[in-house]
Structures are given as C-alpha cells and as structure tokens.
C-alpha cells in the first residue's frame, strides 16, 4: 500500500465517521430542537404536558450524550494509553453485554506492545468492527474473540454462531467495515481470511508485530 492509498483510506474512514455523526447525532438534535418548540407551545396551554415533555426531552439529551461519547471514544486512538489494553477490551465486552444481556461473550486477549501504537489501535479497531458487525447483522448468541501474540505475529480470531455473511452483501457500496478491516490489515503487511456459512462467521487475521516487519 503506497502513501496515496493510505491517505485515501484515511479520508474514506473520516467520511464514514462524519456520515455516521450526521445520520445519528445531528438528526437526533434536530428532532430535539423541534420538541423544544412544542414544549414552548405547551407551556401556555398545558403546563403538565410541558413538564412531561421536558422530562422525556431530558432523557433524550442524556441518550445523545451517551451516543456521542461512544463516537468520540471510538475516534480517539489515545484511549488505549488512557485506560489500558485490558480495560479497553473489557469496556467493549461490557458494551456488547449491555446491548444484549443474553449474549455469550468470550474474550481471550493477550497483551500487545502499546509502544507500537498503530498496530495496537488497529487490533482494537478490527475486533471492535467485528463485534459491531456481529451485533448488527449476525443474530448470533455467542461470540468468541481471541488475540494471541507470540512476539512475532498477532493472531486475531473473531467467531460468531450467527446466520453468516450473505455473498452479495460483503464488500458492497455503503458498507465499509469489512473493507476498512482488510485494507488496514494489508497496510500492516498482514493477512485476513473470512469463512462464513449458515452456522456462523469466522474472521482470522495475522499481523506481524512491528519488530518483525
């Protein structure tokens, strides 16, 4: 991958984040602003209704703050330095369980050299995208993630027991997660393999540690 391709990848990733924010936070804030106008009207006509609407709007504000925090958290590569490697994966695991408490989540994560920042954050982002895909698309009730590091190679495995990836749906227009994952792996001189059928999906990735590149 040459410098221009890496810049294009960065631009595409930023575009995806911007579109994500536009589709969620901005839309939510527009709705909220309309609700505020409604509350102003109710204030003159029905103060109880105005109060109830205010309480529910406040809840909505809290939800938007939570969502924006998640986006900012996902954007910040410094996160691993701040809370550490293990805590970052624990946080991800908690997030999955929070979305679906019935889910069986098994994480087996070896330590990775954080001084090699780009490899560490890439491993985290790959696992995070794999988990998000599983939650969004797979209908699985079990996910197993392992990150094994023997000092030369980092081996990532993300497995779910869901419905599998439909042939036509992967690497499609407006679906960037798997494409970014594969481009990131390529930029780090690694290899990626996806095996998916109606019993689930297995993504296996190998990335050389920086000392081995």
Ligand X SMILES: Nc1ncnc2c1ncn2[C@@H]1O[C@H](COP(=O)(O)OP(=O)(O)OP(=O)(O)O)[C@@H](O)[C@H]1O
Out of ligand X, Mg ion, none, what residue 169 binds, judged by CB under 5 to 8 A for its kind, is ligand X
Q: Is 69 helix (H, G, I), strand (E, B) or coil?
A: helix
Interactions with ligand X, residue window 124-163 (CB under 6 A):
133-134, 136-138, 160, 162-163
Please give the size of the binding site for Mg ion, defined by CB under 5 A: 2
Q: How far is the CB of 27 from ligand X (least distance, A)?
A: 16
Residues in the interface with ligand X (CB under 6 A) total: 19
190 binds, among ligand X, Mg ion, none (CB under 5 to 8 A by kind): none
Q: Is 2 exposed, middle or buried (0-12, 13-18, 19+ CB in 10 A)?
A: exposed
The structure tokens listed for 65 are 């703050």
- Distance CA(102)–CA(79), nearest Å, equals 28
* The one segment of 43-51, 140-148, 176-184, 193-201 that binds Mg ion by CB under 5 A: 176-184
If one asks whether residue 196 binds Mg ion (CB under 5 A), the answer comes out as no
Strand partners, 203: 158, 194
**In angstroms, rounded to a whole number, what is the distance separating the alpha carbons of residues 78 and 54?**
36
Extract the runs of DSSP E, i.e. beta strands, from the chain: 104-109, 142-149, 153-160, 191-197, 200-208
Decide whether 58 or 136 has the Cβ nearer to ligand X.
136
Task: Please list every residue from 158 through 197 that binds ligand X, using CB under 6 A.
Answer: 160, 162-166, 169-170, 175-179
């Amino acid at each position: 991958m040459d410098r221009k391709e890496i810049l294009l990848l960065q631009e595409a990733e930023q575009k995806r984040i911007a579109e994500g924010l536009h589709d969620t936070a901005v839309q939510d804030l527009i709705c909220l602003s309309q609700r505020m106008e409604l509350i102003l009207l109710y204030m003159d006509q029905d103060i109880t209704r105005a109060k109830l609407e205010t309480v529910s709007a406040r809840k909505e504000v809290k939800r938007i703050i939570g969502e924006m925090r998640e986006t900012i958290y996902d954007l910040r590569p410094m996160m691993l330095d701040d809370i550490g490697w293990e805590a970052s994966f624990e946080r991800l695991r908690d997030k999955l369980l929070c979305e679906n408490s019935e889910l069986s989540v098994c994480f087996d994560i070896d330590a990775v050299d954080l001084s090699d920042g780009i490899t560490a954050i890439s491993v985290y982002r790959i696992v995070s995208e794999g988990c998000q895909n599983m939650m969004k698309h797979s209908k699985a009730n079990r996910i197993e993630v392992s990150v094994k590091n023997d000092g030369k190679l980092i081996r990532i495995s993300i497995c779910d027991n869901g419905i599998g990836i439909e042939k036509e749906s992967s690497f499609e227009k407006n679906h960037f997660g798997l494409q970014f994952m594969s481009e990131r792996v390529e930029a780090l001189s690694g290899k990626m393999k996806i095996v998916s059928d109606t019993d689930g999906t297995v993504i296996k990735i190998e990335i050389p540690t920086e000392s081995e590149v």
